[in-house]
Structure 1
Amino acid sequence: MKKIVVATDFSPAAHNAFLYAVNLGAHFRAEVILLHIAPVVLSDAGMGAFVRQMSPEYTAVMALEKFEQWEAEIPPELKQKIRFRTEMKSGPTISEILRSTEELHPSMLVMGMEEEPHLGDKILGNTITSVIQRCSVPVMVVPESAKFQGIAHIAYATNFELEDIRALDQVLEFAHRFNAKVHCVHIRRNGDEGDRYKQEILKRAYQPDMTMDKLDFNVLRYPEVIDGLNKYVEEHHIDLLVMLTHQRGIFGQLFHNSHAKGMVMHSKVPLWVFQMKETA
């Protein structure tokens, strides 16, 4: 992991996500880029013409002050392990985040999520889920209350598909940096027995990791996948939950379900989502 981009609106949730990303970056000695997208408004330029301008409440001066303030808050022992810089652009939030991600080529995009419902909660949740679905790199959503205290247990939500191997390899490499254990979790709904063969194939592929107690496989029965995952996260003290967005992946299947968006908006642990392109 060489580069982490943190998208910020300078909210408390974004600040917490920034500190979380700095801690991650220190473990990988990565570059951490703090990205702010200043919203724009249409201003009447006369003669019926309109031009884009930064909203007055989001001026460049204010953003630069925030950049300096947040950089000053990075603990010295962490700052010496990362390379830090800032980026500021203006435009529609989602499209500019996606455009910036394409330009910067990070290993991960980090975004913060407020947990207490408020007027803008639905808008923020839609922004994050839209970015997740369209972003070209993995996205980590950090709840406001999720303070970085190390990572000991990672839950990987799986449907035992081929794409799981590619993503799981990256998760295991990430886990190795923290000496963390990866829990592959599959929620089997009532009457669903067709995944046993695929499960055995995946287990054989990772037998060495299982032997060293760095990986295990868990199949649970729950009527609803989200409820089952939340229960597992709580009972096993999971520090990070990982999902895929492809059509057969857990997140991909549940994205249009209100419960899936609720998981993004109200998860108690960071949610790391991988985008896997469908192969022909």
Structure 2
Amino acid sequence: MKTLLYATDCTPTTSAALKYAHRLSRVLNADLHILHVYDLQPFTTANVRSRGILEKNYFLDQLEVLKTYCENQLKNELGAVDADFHVVKSTNISKAILRTVEEINADLVMVGVKSTKSLRGFFTGNIAENLMDKLKSPLLILPDDYHLHDISTVLYATDFESTDVFALRRVAKLVESYGALIKVFHIPLKTEVNVDKKMEVFKEEVLKRIDYPEIIFSIEYADDVESGIHNSIKEEIPEMLVMMEREQPSFFDRLFCKDTVETIEGKVSIPLLVFNKESIVDMYAKDSNDMLKEQTIN
């Protein structure tokens, strides 16, 4: 991952997320782009200057706000602040983020969780939820006040799909600089059969396609998916949880449907990395070397 995008509203509650993005970019030796989306205030007829001049001045003011915010929040970080700054005028934060992702070809997008302390965040809803099913890049959702010091353990929740293999490959690339352990776990439904066999087949497929030594596999039994995930987090104390967001109706009541991801996003206190299944299918469907199949491993 060579190009990272972090979106901020320049409030004090997002300072930890900004530091996380900065530290991660340095470890990955990646280009960091920092985006601030603003909404132009209405002008009255009493304004003497033309609207064009006022909009330009407001744009420059917001750019200075973003740069000053980053300089102040990162002043105690190691190394100089090396980032590209973007300010975009828009009433729709999610659409502005998506446009910027396309412009810079971002490999990873980082946003904070919804905050009740931000009036604009309150009125625009949860930006992360709006991005989940539209982004081609993986989305990293950062909780308030979570500081990145190291990544030693990552949990990956799987439903034994081929797309999980390709997402795991990207996760391995993301954390290899840390030498992190990736624990791949599955929480079976009460009616699910042949779970051990499915895990063995999936494990073989992963190890065949991913050259990363620190991957282990586990089946975790629980009353439901959400409690199973929280139990795993409590036991493993990971620095990141990874899930696949899926839109197909057949997965609505399955293990990692969109509703489950959104439920977990609001409660998990560690960073949540979300991959979009449809984007992975689009990315690898025409790759004859990978031969991606849109199906669950049986």
Deviation at 1:254, TM superposition (A): 3.3
One-letter amino acid of the counterpart of residue 154, structure 1: V
Deviation at 1:145, TM superposition (A): 2.5
Aligned residue number for residue 290 of structure 2 = none
**Structure 1 residues 145 and 154 mapped into 2: Cα distance closer, same or farther (>3 Å)?**
same
**Range with bigger deviation, 181-190 or 9-18:** 9-18
One-letter amino acid of the counterpart of residue 255, structure 1: K
One-letter amino acid of the counterpart of residue 266, structure 1: K
Deviation at 1:44, TM superposition (A): 7.9
Q: Determine if contact 2:247/2:258 at 8 Å carries over to the other structure.
A: no
Distance 1:118 1:240 in 2: 25
For 1:198-209, what aligned pairs fall within 5 Å after superposition? Answer: 198-207=198-207
TM-score, length-scaled by structure 1: 0.82
Distance 1:141 1:23 in 2: 15
Unaligned runs of 5+ in 1: 46-50
Q: Deviations over 1:175-200 (max 9, x none)?
A: 21101100001111212124443321
Aligned residue number for residue 25 of structure 1 = 25
Deviation at 1:65, TM superposition (A): 2.8
Deviation at 1:210, TM superposition (A): 11
Q: Determine if contact 1:143/1:266 at 8 Å carries over to the other structure.
A: no
Deviation at 1:143, TM superposition (A): 0.2
**1:254 is matched with which residue: 237, 254, 257?**
257
Deviation at 1:77, TM superposition (A): 6.4
Distance 1:205 1:246 in 2: 21
Distance 1:233 1:128 in 2: 21
Q: Determine if contact 2:6/2:34 at 8 Å carries over to the other structure.
A: yes
Q: Does 1:90 align with 2:89?
A: yes
For 1:1-280, what aligned pairs fall within 5 Å after superposition? Answer: 1-40=1-40, 60-74=60-74, 78-80=78-80, 83-91=82-90, 92-113=92-113, 126-207=126-207, 214-247=214-247, 253-256=256-259, 260-277=261-278, 278=281
**Structure 1 residues 62 and 43 mapped into 2: Cα distance closer, same or farther (>3 Å)?**
closer
Q: Determine if contact 2:244/2:256 at 8 Å carries over to the other structure.
A: no
Which has more strand, going by share of residues? Answer: 1
Q: Determine if contact 2:17/2:145 at 8 Å carries over to the other structure.
A: no
One-letter amino acid of the counterpart of residue 33, structure 1: H
Unaligned runs of 5+ in 2: 46-50, 286-293
Q: Determine if contact 1:40/1:53 at 8 Å carries over to the other structure.
A: no
| Secondary structure in 1 matching 2:176 | helix
TM-score, length-scaled by structure 2: 0.78
Q: Deviations over 1:206-256 (max 9, x none)?
A: 448999861111111222211111110111111100111234779994323
| Secondary structure in 2 matching 1:17 | helix
One-letter amino acid of the counterpart of residue 93, structure 1: I
Distance 1:208 1:73 in 2: 43
Distance 1:5 1:170 in 2: 17
Distance 1:115 1:213 in 2: 38
Distance 2:95 2:158 in 1: 29
Q: How many residues align?
A: 270
Q: Determine if contact 2:114/2:122 at 8 Å carries over to the other structure.
A: no
One-letter amino acid of the counterpart of residue 146, structure 1: Y
One-letter amino acid of the counterpart of residue 87, structure 1: H
* Percent of aligned pairs with the same amino acid: 20
**Structure 1 residues 54 and 174 mapped into 2: Cα distance closer, same or farther (>3 Å)?**
farther
| Secondary structure in 2 matching 1:188 | coil
**Structure 1 residues 183 and 115 mapped into 2: Cα distance closer, same or farther (>3 Å)?**
farther
Distance 1:126 1:24 in 2: 24
RMSD: 3.4
Distance 1:253 1:52 in 2: 47
Q: Determine if contact 1:39/1:93 at 8 Å carries over to the other structure.
A: no
Q: Determine if contact 2:2/2:107 at 8 Å carries over to the other structure.
A: yes
Aligned residue number for residue 48 of structure 2 = none
| Secondary structure in 1 matching 2:187 | strand
